[in-house]
Amino acid sequence: MSVTNIHPASELTAADELRAMMQGTVTLRGEDDYARTRKIWNGAVENQPALFAVCETSADVQAAVRFARRHSLPLSVRGGGHDWAGRALCADGLVIDLSRMRQVIVDPHSRVATVSGGARLKDVAVAADAHGLVAALGNCGYVGMGGFALGGGYGPLNGLYGLAADNLLDAEVVLADGRRVTTSPDEEPDLFWAIRGGGGNFGVVTSLRIQLHEKRHMLAGPIVYPLSEAEQVLRRYANFAASMPDELGITVGMMSGPDGQPSLLFLPLWNGDQRRGERIMSDLQALGTPKFAQLGPMTYGDMLSLIDASVDAADGCHWETRTCSLPALTHDAIDVITKAVAARTSPHSMVNWHHFHGAATRIPAAKIAFGMRQEHFTMEIVACWEPDGSNGTAHRQWAQDLWESLAAFALPGGYANFLTPRDREQVRDAYGSNGARLLELKRRFDPDGVFSSAIPLPD
């Protein structure tokens, strides 16, 4: 689809036309609410959309898609607004904003949650917690459930329940022509295959139904080690992870600790037998000499709150992320990461990783579009600096240098949710043998490239 920009003189007329079509609101560039509506997590994103369609219903989304097509406008979709690359904001185009569509309805008998397109992970966690249930979620409550699940969805329960995408039962999708369809294993099965890993490339997902699971005895909390112990602790952790039980997930981060000093953070989550979980938590603390540990019974929502507090503190900062997947934490890789964290150009920068293991590895690679099923550690190399944007080149280079240093230890590809079009080789390898089918379905469901701002697909 060729796209054009709305001339400033006609923006008001276009906004009025769209307002007449929607139950929700329309925010126009230059209006008082524009800056607040445009605000996303990454302050480095500079794109200035012409219009925001702040939707309240699926019909609003249909109207917005048809409006964008009629006016040949660039189109993007905002769910949680937490994608570091700023894909939610298309320059001079129309943003379909789902932030008012955050309802989560739980059926405790079938253990199914119906999740509106703009709901965030914390909305799902709290709704499931109320019924003694859990979902396969991530570690930041502000992330939109739609974008998280459609790109794959790493998190601490992957070992027990697979990826978030593996737990998707069906979805309501507004297609590029404005039609609204339900996709599931029985209805539009090709589309259902594609959206589970292919992201928002095929339409706007206005609702998802996801499988929930039993919350057994859940233990969680932070363990913080000084950076001086990081190399020794991580070598022991690598041995521990080689036989880690499915019931355990550990997010690991190397970042500034509560005292402002570079630290090694373990955030384990156990969902299983109480006594065994308590023994394993003790084993984790014995990997070194923690300077802080606070482990105990915790809901998933409580665990998200621990992370969200630090996210709040970094609101408006500038961010850049690189990613790769390591098949193992070798001594050499640990050495590279530890030295890079000690030499950070910003005290806000960090390296995090998720251990992909257990149930997530036992699902056939061809079952959904998400392409990587072998056990690995997904690395997030995160450069973060002050909202004034100063010295951004040096901070980005720090992330790039570390990524290049880890390339010798990495698997081909990476996590598509963290990749951009510049990462062409990684994108191709991320989907592996699923790439050809994914491109064929992109041409079928979105032949004009209406949803071109979503996560990248292979060439």
The answer to whether 60 and 335 have CB atoms below 8 angstroms apart is: no
CA–CA distance, 268 with 354 (Å, rounded to integer): 11
* Residue (of 148, 103, 109) closest to 127 by Cα position: 103
Residue 441 lies in a domain: no
The domain that contains 405 carries what CATH number?
3.40.462.20
CA–CA distance, 2 with 71 (Å, rounded to integer): 10
φ, ψ of residue 304 in degrees (nearest 5): -60, -35
- pTM, two decimals, is 0.95
Range of the domain at 133: 104-215
Residue 457 lies in a domain: no
95, 99, 100, 104 alpha-carbon torsion, rounded to 10°? 130
Tell whether the model's pLDDT for residue 3 goes beyond 60. Answer: no
Higher pLDDT, 32 or 257: 32
Do 57 and 151 lie in one domain? The reply is no
Q: What percent of the chain has pLDDT over 70?
A: 98
CA–CA distance, 163 with 152 (Å, rounded to integer): 6
Do 417 and 383 lie in one domain? The reply is yes
Q: Where does residue 32 fall: left (phi above 0), alpha (psi -120 to 50 degrees), or beta otherwise?
A: alpha
Residue 246 lies in a domain: yes
* Residue (of 118, 303, 159) closest to 220 by Cα position: 303
Do 345 and 383 lie in one domain? The reply is yes
Higher pLDDT, 2 or 355: 355
CA–CA distance, 164 with 39 (Å, rounded to integer): 26
Tell whether the model's pLDDT for residue 4 goes beyond 60. Answer: no
Domain boundary among 71, 97, 123: 97
- Mean pLDDT computed over 322-343: 97
The label of the residue with tokens 């293991």 reads 357
Residue 393 lies in a domain: yes
- What per-residue confidence (pLDDT) applies to 314? 78
Domain boundary among 74, 97, 120: 97
Domain boundary among 61, 76, 97: 97
Residue 1 lies in a domain: no
What is the dihedral sign for C-alpha 37, 39, 41, 44? Answer: positive
Higher pLDDT, 459 or 363: 363
The domain that contains 91 carries what CATH number?
3.30.43.10
Do 187 and 292 lie in one domain? The reply is no
What is the dihedral sign for C-alpha 421, 422, 425, 427? Answer: negative
Residue 450 lies in a domain: no
Grade residue 138 by pLDDT with cuts at 50, 70 and 90: very high
Do 195 and 239 lie in one domain? The reply is no
Residue 195 lies in a domain: yes
Q: What percent of the chain has pLDDT over 90?
A: 91
200-209, 308-317, 351-360, range with the lowest pLDDT: 308-317
Tens digit of pLDDT for each residue in 366-395?
Answer: 999 999 999 999 999 999 999 887 889 999
Do 225 and 314 lie in one domain? The reply is yes
Tens digit of pLDDT for each residue in 192-219?
Answer: 999 999 999 999 999 999 999 999 999 9
- What per-residue confidence (pLDDT) applies to 315? 77
What domain count does the chain have?
3
Grade residue 459 by pLDDT with cuts at 50, 70 and 90: confident
DSSP β-ladder status, 51-54 and 94-97: parallel
Give the burial class of 309: count Cβ atoms within 10 A of its Cβ; 0-12 exposed, 13-18 middle, 19 or more buried. Answer: exposed
Do 207 and 254 lie in one domain? The reply is no
Tens digit of pLDDT for each residue in 271-299?
Answer: 999 999 999 999 999 999 999 999 999 99
Do 250 and 359 lie in one domain? The reply is yes
Do 406 and 310 lie in one domain? The reply is yes
φ, ψ of residue 126 in degrees (nearest 5): -65, -40
The answer to whether 159 and 139 have CB atoms below 8 angstroms apart is: no
Do 56 and 151 lie in one domain? The reply is no
Do 175 and 228 lie in one domain? The reply is no
- What per-residue confidence (pLDDT) applies to 296? 96
The answer to whether 431 and 419 have CB atoms below 8 angstroms apart is: no
Residue-averaged pLDDT of the chain: 95
The domain that contains 183 carries what CATH number?
3.30.465.10
Do 265 and 368 lie in one domain? The reply is yes
Grade residue 311 by pLDDT with cuts at 50, 70 and 90: confident
19-33, 109-123, 127-141, 251-265, range with the lowest pLDDT: 251-265
Residue 159 lies in a domain: yes
Tell whether the model's pLDDT for residue 13 goes beyond 90. Answer: no
